[in-house]
Amino acid sequence: LAGPPSPPGQDPHGWRVPVDCVRANELCAGEPSCSSRYRTLRQCLAGRDRNTMLANKECQAALEVLQESPLYDCRCKRGMKKELQCLQIYWSIHLGLTEGEEFYEASPYEPVTSRLSDIFRLASIFSGMDPAANSKSNHCLDAAKACNLNDNCKRLRSGYISTCSKEISATEHCSRRKCHKALRQFFDRVPSEYTYRLLFCSCKDQACAERRRQTIVPSCSYEDKEKPNCLDLRNTCRTDHLCRSRLADFHTNCQASFQSLTSCPGDNYQACLGSYAGLIGFDMTPNYVDASTTSITISPWCSCKGSGNMEEECEKFLRDFTENPCLRNAIQAFGNGTDVNLSP
């Protein structure tokens, strides 16, 4: 069915535009030298750490050859078909390249080029009103109403709410695994015009802020009996290709930067909010810690208690959620219906 493999495209700047890793894998499979090296590398990586792997000449040679193949530059798209397979291919190469212990890892996802303003435009068409219009209204309630008027949003929202509030037994409050899965489906399959309005609505009173906090049914998807250590939680997250990728995406797009006006990389609010929403439904699920209307504090369900000598590193990791000016500005900008005006 498919034609002969076409070379990766070129963008106007003459840079190679990365293909997705599933496609890159197909291209590699068509070339005997690439496919055999890739097989070698995967065997090298299985169950070994990077240093022992690189000590092996054959493994090193495989890695060097693959650096010239389309597999090397490949990326994945959020919510693409075969996303997990794509990420597995991505990490099979990149775990060999990076230390695997870096504080920040680069995102395996393609950069987000759309802007918040695109959402505002669409959102106002959907709701027939300016999101910033009525200062007295409860934006979070409006967002729920807007979702209920859309069949897809309504179906997936009630889907995750009923899954997450279903009591299993007297000791088991709910099935966290199923709840997370339903939340992932909601955020993957419902357009962000709806999901962002629910997640990032701006609030002037406590009832609204509590509704906002309750959006992801935190009693099931977020809270737990005990708070693990954040580094421990990060470790758990990194053993899972999807969670690892979403966390890397969050770090890439929400890492506070001194270089920009908004504190966000490339002043791109949309990218930061997208990667925040992408973490929901994984071990690193973030949420509002309280129903405060004046200050927004976000955190995953973890603390830095018991960090020993790693306390500094733990605090640094946690601060990217709790005290992150980029994330805070992005949420506030969304709530206010403002985006940065960028000259083209």
Residues that bind another protein (CB under 8 A): 15-16, 51, 67, 72-73, 97-98, 106-107, 111, 166-170, 228-229, 231-232, 235, 258-259, 265-266, 305-313
Query: Rounded to the nearest whole angstrom, what is the least distance from the CB of residue 4 to another protein in the complex?
Result: 25
For the chain, the distance separating the N- and C-terminal CA atoms, rounded to the nearest angstrom, is 41
**For residue 236, what are the contacts with CB-CB under 8 A and spacing of at least 6?**
228, 243, 283
If the CB atoms of residues 3 and 308 are measured against another protein, the closer one turns out to be 308
Q: Which two tokens stand for residue 250?
A: 């969050």
If the CB atoms of residues 67 and 134 are measured against another protein, the closer one turns out to be 67
**Closest alpha carbon to 161 in 145, 146, 178:** 178
Hey, is 239 helix, strand or coil? coil
Query: Rounded to the nearest whole angstrom, what is the least distance from the CB of residue 31 to another protein in the complex?
Result: 19
Strand-strand pairing, 298-300 and 286-288: antiparallel
Query: Rounded to the nearest whole angstrom, what is the least distance from the CB of residue 235 to another protein in the complex?
Result: 7
If the CB atoms of residues 61 and 168 are measured against another protein, the closer one turns out to be 168
Query: Rounded to the nearest whole angstrom, what is the least distance from the CB of residue 38 to another protein in the complex?
Result: 16
If the CB atoms of residues 83 and 249 are measured against another protein, the closer one turns out to be 249
Strand partners, 16: 10
Query: Rounded to the nearest whole angstrom, what is the least distance from the CB of residue 68 to another protein in the complex?
Result: 9
Question: What separation in angstroms does the CA of 164 have from each of 39, 53, 121, 199?
Answer: 41, 43, 32, 17
Query: Rounded to the nearest whole angstrom, what is the least distance from the CB of residue 217 to another protein in the complex?
Result: 15
**For residue 82, what are the contacts with CB-CB under 8 A and spacing of at least 6?**
22
Q: Which two tokens stand for residue 194?
A: 């709806």
If the CB atoms of residues 4 and 15 are measured against another protein, the closer one turns out to be 15
Distance, CA of 47 to CA of 308 (rounded, Å): 28
What's the DSSP call for residue 101? -
Query: Rounded to the nearest whole angstrom, what is the least distance from the CB of residue 25 to another protein in the complex?
Result: 18
If the CB atoms of residues 231 and 272 are measured against another protein, the closer one turns out to be 231
If the CB atoms of residues 132 and 174 are measured against another protein, the closer one turns out to be 174
If the CB atoms of residues 12 and 258 are measured against another protein, the closer one turns out to be 258
User: Residue 299: which H helix or E strand, with range?
Assistant: strand 298-300
Query: Rounded to the nearest whole angstrom, what is the least distance from the CB of residue 73 to another protein in the complex?
Result: 6
Hey, is 298 helix, strand or coil? strand
Strand partners, 344: none
Query: Rounded to the nearest whole angstrom, what is the least distance from the CB of residue 310 to another protein in the complex?
Result: 6
If the CB atoms of residues 56 and 336 are measured against another protein, the closer one turns out to be 56
Q: Which two tokens stand for residue 197?
A: 């309005």
The alpha carbon torsion through 5, 8, 11, 16 (nearest 10 deg) reads -170
Neighbours of 344 (CB within 10 A): 2
Q: Which two tokens stand for residue 152?
A: 């897809």
